[in-house]
Amino acid sequence: MSKTWFITGTSTGIGRYLTERLLARGDRVAATLRRTDVLDDLKARYGDSLWVASLDVTDLDKVRDVMARAFSDLGQIDVVVSNAGYGLFGAGEELSDTQIKQQLDTNLLGSIAVIRAALPHLRAQGGGQIQQVSSEGGQLAYPSFGLYHATKWGIEGFVEAVAQEVAPFGITCTIVEPGPAGTSFATNLVSAPAMDVYAETPAGAVRRAIMSGSFAIRGDADKMAQAMIDCADSGKAPRRLLLGRDAWGRVHAALTERLAALEAQKDVAVSTERDA
């Protein structure tokens, strides 16, 4: 049975692959992006199956307006994919206030706005699914990606809470956590000027790996898009959908280490209770 999707950030990467795959199988897609002409080829091929709107998710009023128009024009939307975002690169001290604000406005506040704008419409129609694209970096952290991680850890916390709030309305939420994949993410990184003091630190090592292209990227963004479609089709919405062999290994190791550290602190935690 065909579905109708609302997807942000459809110009490249996972958002573009999702749009292409969904249209090819006969679904309808409400695609948003900043430059709508990027999808002219798909519009020419699929016509009314593709609804396109210009959207910068940092414009919160526009987010609400575009979401309302999509539901009004299409009648029902089964899956909302909040995918728009980008990477900010630099040690915490290297980043400018402007860069930090833009990263938070786009990846965190913009994603929150998309979800909030969708909820009244999903409730009114009796349910639906939200897929929030996060990252393996929503559960671990690399030096020089601190603000990017702050947005991903932040949106994951928001979705964890919202998922519980909206479950009674038949709305499910899945946090999608891709590992590094063959997209334009690296080339679109916004980078802060390097400070010499960080050259021989973990932050400097990551900078050299990124700039030299030696950072391993084995993920296939097209296959990741298909996994997201399969998730929506399955009728079972896991809270998290981790994508990528290497990402699975790194997240597993990070969670194992965190659990071991938590268990080691049990006596300290218990000792801080009030005396009976």
Active site residues: 134, 148, 152
Dist. CA 222–CA 152, nearest whole Å? 21
Burial of 151 (0-12, 13-18, 19+ CB in 10 A): buried
Structure tokens at 41: 């080829």
Burial of 175 (0-12, 13-18, 19+ CB in 10 A): buried
Residue among 263, 215, 237 nearest 162 (CA): 237
Dist. CA 208–CA 217, nearest whole Å? 15
185: phi then psi, degrees, rounded to nearest 5: -55, -50
User: Three-class SS of residue 93?
Assistant: coil
Supply the DSSP string of 36-51, one letter for each residue: GGGGHHHHHHHGGGEE
Which residues, in sequence order, are CB contacts of 272 under 8 Å at separation 6+? Answer: none
